[in-house]
Amino acid sequence: MHVVVLLKQVLDPEIPAKAFDIDQGRKAPKVERAPQVLSIFDGNALELALKLREARADVRITALTLGPQQADEALRKALALTCDEAVRVDAEEGALDSHQKARLLAAALRLLEPWDLVLAGRQAADWEAGQVGAMVAEELALPCVPFVSRVEQAAEPLAVRQQLESGYAVVQLGGPAVLTVTNDETNVLRAAKVKDVMAAGRKPLRVLQAGEILADLGESAVEVLSLALPPKPERAEIVEGGSMEEKASALARRLRELGAI
Amino acid sequence: MGGILVVLTLQGGAATPAGLDLLGLAAEIAQVDGGEVTALALGEGGAGAGQGLISRGADAVLYCADPALARHPGEAGMQVLAQAEREVQPDLLLLAADSVGRDLGPRIAARLGAGLVTEATSAALHAGRVEVTRPVFGGKAIARMAATTAQAVITLRPGAGAARAADPSRTGTVRELAVQIAPAANWPTVVRREVEASSGPRLEEATAIVSGGRGVGGPEGFSLLHELAQALGGAVGASRAAVDEGWVPAALQIGQTGKAVAPDLYIAVGISGASQHMVGCARAKTLVAINRDPDALIFDAARLGLVGDYREALPALTRAIRELS
Ligand SMILES: Cc1cc2nc3c(=O)[nH]c(=O)nc-3n(C[C@H](O)[C@H](O)[C@H](O)COP(=O)(O)OP(=O)(O)OC[C@H]3O[C@@H](n4cnc5c(N)ncnc54)[C@H](O)[C@@H]3O)c2cc1C
Ligand SMILES: Nc1ncnc2c1ncn2[C@@H]1O[C@H](COP(=O)(O)O)[C@@H](O)[C@H]1O
Q: Which domains does chain B have, with CATH numbers?
A: 4-176 (3.40.50.620), 203-324 (3.40.50.1220)
The answer to whether the CB of B256 is under 6 A from ligand 1 is yes
Q: For residue B198, is pLDDT > 70?
A: no
Percent of chain B with pLDDT over 70: 99
Which residue segment(s) compose the domain that A251 sits in? 231-261
Same domain for A175 and A83: yes
Q: Is B137 on the interface with A (CB under 8 A)?
A: yes
CA-closest candidate to residue A3, choices A65, A75, A81, A84: A84
HSE-up of residue B27 (Cα within 13 Å, Cβ side): 22
- Ligand number nearest CA of A130 is 2
Q: How far does residue A108's CA lie from ligand 1's centre (Å)?
A: 36
Same domain for A247 and A142: no
Same domain for A253 and A153: no
Average pLDDT over residues B170-189: 97
Query: Which of A17, A223, A255 is the closest to B145 by Cβ?
Result: A223
Percent of chain B with pLDDT over 90: 90
Q: Is residue A242 part of a domain?
A: yes
Q: For residue B1, is pLDDT > 70?
A: no
Same domain for A96 and A8: yes
Cα B127 from Cα A58, distance rounded (Å): 56
- At B236, the pLDDT band (50, 70, 90 cuts) reads very high
Same domain for A153 and A44: yes
Average per-residue pLDDT for chain A: 96
Same domain for A194 and A243: no
CA-closest candidate to residue B6, choices B83, B44, B49, B60: B60
Same domain for A187 and A235: no
Distances in Å between the alpha carbon of B243 and those of A29, A200, B254, B275? 29, 30, 10, 17
Q: Is residue A8 part of a domain?
A: yes
Identify the CATH number of the domain in which residue A202 sits.
3.40.50.620
Q: pLDDT, tens digit, for every residue of B27-43?
A: 999 999 889 999 999 99
For residue B307, which phi and psi values (nearest 5 degrees)? -95, 120
Strand pairing report for B129-136 and B141-147: antiparallel
Going A212 to A214 to A215 to A219, the CA torsion angle's sign is: negative
Q: Is residue A224 part of a domain?
A: no
Those residues whose C-beta lies under 8 Å from the C-beta of residue A94, and which sit 6 or more positions away, are A26, A28
Query: Which of B74, B143, B265 is the closest to A261 by Cβ?
Result: B265
Low-confidence ranges of chain A (pLDDT < 70): none
**How many structural domains is chain A composed of?**
2
Same domain for A246 and A185: no
Q: Is residue A218 part of a domain?
A: no
Q: pLDDT, tens digit, for every residue of A185-205?
A: 999 999 999 999 999 999 999
Using a CB-CB cut-off of 8 Å, the residues of chain A touching B117 are 222
Same domain for A189 and A254: no
Q: Is residue A86 part of a domain?
A: yes
Q: Is residue A59 part of a domain?
A: yes
Q: pLDDT, tens digit, for every residue of B263-284?
A: 999 999 999 999 899 989 988 9
Q: HEC states along chain B?
A: CCCEEEEEEEECCEECHHHHHHHHHHHHHHHHHCCCEEEEEECCCHHHHHHHHHHCCCCEEEEECCCHHHHCHHHHHHHHHHHHHHHHCCCEEEEECCCCHHHHHHHHHHHHCCEEEEEECEEEEECCEEEEEEEEHHHCEEEEEEECCCCEEEEECCCCCCCCCCCCCCCCEEEECCCCCCCCCCCCEEEEEEECCCCCCCCCCCCEEEEECHHHCCCCCHHHHHHHHHHHCCEEEECHHHHHCCCCCHHHEECCCCECCCCCEEEEECCCCCHHHHCCCCCCCEEEEEECCCCCCHHHHCCEEEECCHHHHHHHHHHHHHHHC
Confidence (pLDDT) at A29 = 94
Q: Is residue A26 part of a domain?
A: yes
Q: Is residue A94 part of a domain?
A: yes
Q: Could you tell me which residues are beta bridge partners of residue B267?
A: B210, B288
Confidence (pLDDT) at B33 = 84
Cα B98 from Cα B159, distance rounded (Å): 11
Those residues whose C-beta lies under 8 Å from the C-beta of residue A148, and which sit 6 or more positions away, are A48, A160, A161, A162, A163, A171, A179, A180, A181, A182
Average pLDDT over residues B171-195: 96
Q: How far does residue A183's CA lie from ligand 1's centre (Å)?
A: 14
Q: Is B232 on the interface with A (CB under 8 A)?
A: yes
Cα A54 from Cα A61, distance rounded (Å): 12
The answer to whether the CB of B79 is under 6 A from ligand 1 is no
Q: For residue B2, is pLDDT > 80?
A: no
Q: Do A135 and B136 touch (CB under 8 A)?
A: no
Same domain for A236 and A199: no
Confidence (pLDDT) at B159 = 79
The answer to whether the CB of B296 is under 6 A from ligand 1 is yes
Same domain for A248 and A147: no
Q: pLDDT, tens digit, for every residue of B48-92?
A: 999 999 999 999 999 999 999 999 999 999 999 999 999 999 999
Query: Which of B141, B253, B256 is the closest to A227 by Cβ?
Result: B141
Q: For residue B202, is pLDDT > 80?
A: yes
Same domain for A253 and A174: no
Q: How far does residue A102's CA lie from ligand 2's centre (Å)?
A: 8
Using a CB-CB cut-off of 8 Å, the residues of chain A touching B135 are 128, 230
